[in-house]
Amino acid sequence: MALNQITSSSRSKLLKPLSCFSSSTSLRRPFSSSSDDNTVITVETSAPFVGHNIDPPCRSVETTPKELLGFFNDMAVMRRMEIAADSLYKSKLIRGFCHLYDGQEAVAVGMEAAITKKDCIITAYRDHCIFLGRGGTPFESFAELMGRKAGCSKGKGGSMHFYKKEAGFYGGHGIVGAQVPLGCGLAFAQKYSKDNTVTFTMYGDGAANQGQLFEALNMAALLDLPAILVCENNHYGMGTAEWRAAKSPAYYKRGDYVPGLKVDGMDALAVKQACKFAKEHALKNGPIILEMDTYRYHGHSMSDPGSTYRTRDEISGVRQVRDPIERIKKLIISHNLATEKELKDIEKNLRKEVDEAIAQAKESPMPDPSELFTNVYVKDFGLEAFGVDRKEVKVVLP
């Protein structure tokens, strides 16, 4: 049965509440599969790609009903999770640093659509939705945010240090720009192993001026590493506009000797096309820079209201014209894949599922105090490497 021919009764069956957010499952799609799920739809990106030392890819992107509905579902979950995290932080159930991703969801879902879990991703501290895209669950996310042992990093990492090695996600990192050399190191391992995979090394416009980025990019270019440097340019590094921090805010040109591509990071299909193009390039020719022109709705972190260095009109203007979820929603409706009411029902059900994940995370126990000293060193490496007998060490607590 085609998705644009579903009856009212069949729609109600398809729109049953999801039960996909347990600790053992990842995101699932809101509709059952059919032979028409994979019908090819050709869509033109919202804006042209701009290349630096490279011919940009075609604006025409092939997609399917299944993919479009999946994009909507995944981005809606990400958006709801980040809004909920905001409330939990204000309720002091989440402590420490917390950087939210709402507004930038198209980068996470578009990138995943172009790669496999064998490809690696490493990013900065705005990492919750990247973890979800890699197959993580809202329960694992909220458990980590609240410091519970069922969290993706056993409650020890918190907001900035999500991790899922088995899915090729090498974490969020708190030191600005520090993940870029690590990402190039992952790409070095991939080339050494000849496994035909790439690493997406993500950073923000605020980190784009860090010296270590240029050092790592130089090494990646010398060694022709399969490294894709992704600058998520949300236009504000903490509270400083890009034009005040960078003499040349055309970040896709920063490599000079490395090709670059500027992408509309609010268009999930454009991100998919760019990441597919970049992966093919990196496997054959070495590193490439992708600048994702995106936007964050929240402030830099929870201590930043996000409205002192930009106007509320600017934020609402982006929401009205460029919101990534609304763009996908319009595509779905225009191709008769679902009605606006059906999509609202999906969002309502997703909200319930996120709320259930929060309730489950609240009931999850905290790590045992003895866990404080585990996972600090690699097993069988530590004090002994420095000639210290572990038995002679005494821990004196204040």
Say whether 71 sits in a helix, a strand or coil: helix
pLDDT of residue 11: 36
Residues 6+ apart with CB under 8 A from 178: 212
Q: Is 292 inside any structural domain?
A: yes
Mean pLDDT of the 52-61 span: 97
Model confidence over 127-182: pLDDT tens digits?
999 999 999 999 999 999 999 999 999 999 999 999 999 999 999 999 999 999 99
Range of the domain at 248: 3-392
| Tokens 């268009």, located at residue | 267
Model confidence over 170-214: pLDDT tens digits?
999 999 999 999 999 999 999 999 999 999 999 999 999 999 999
Mean pLDDT of the 287-314 span: 95
Mean pLDDT of the 301-315 span: 93
pLDDT of residue 393: 59
Is 87 exposed, middle or buried, given 0-12, 13-18 or 19+ CB atoms closer than 10 A? exposed
Q: Is 398 inside any structural domain?
A: no
Q: Is 397 inside any structural domain?
A: no
Q: Is 312 inside any structural domain?
A: yes
Mean pLDDT of the 40-47 span: 96
Q: Which of 228, 239, 261, 246 is nearest to 308 (CA)?
A: 239
How far is C-alpha 221 from the geometric centre of its chain's CA atoms? 25
The secondary structure of residue 295, as a DSSP letter, is -
Q: Is 296 inside any structural domain?
A: yes
What are the C-alpha distances in Å from 383 to residues 8, 156, 299, 380, 389? 67, 22, 42, 9, 7
Mean pLDDT of the 69-94 span: 98
Model confidence over 352-371: pLDDT tens digits?
999 999 999 999 999 998 88
What are the C-alpha distances in Å from 301 to residues 100, 124, 199, 241, 279? 7, 13, 26, 15, 31
Contact 309, 240 (CB under 8 A): yes
Statement: residue 9 has pLDDT above 90: no
Q: Is 98 inside any structural domain?
A: yes
The two tokens of residue 22 are: 């347990």
Model confidence over 333-351: pLDDT tens digits?
999 999 999 999 999 999 9
pLDDT of residue 5: 35
Statement: residue 250 has pLDDT above 70: yes
Q: Which of 280, 257, 118 is nearest to 189 (CA)?
A: 118
Is 138 exposed, middle or buried, given 0-12, 13-18 or 19+ CB atoms closer than 10 A? buried
The pLDDT-based confidence of 397 (bands split at 50, 70, 90) is low
The number of folded domains in the chain is 1
Residues 6+ apart with CB under 8 A from 109: 70, 71, 74, 75, 78, 133, 268, 271
Vertex 279, ends 104 and 275: CA angle to 5°? 25
Mean pLDDT of the 9-33 span: 39
Dihedral of the CA atoms 184, 187, 188, 194 (nearest 10)?
Answer: -170
| Tokens 């690699």, located at residue | 378
Write down the mean pLDDT value for the chain: 89
32 or 378, higher pLDDT: 378
Q: What percent of the chain has pLDDT over 90?
A: 81
Say whether 150 sits in a helix, a strand or coil: coil
The pLDDT-based confidence of 255 (bands split at 50, 70, 90) is confident
Q: Residue 307 sits in a domain of what CATH number? A: 3.40.50.970
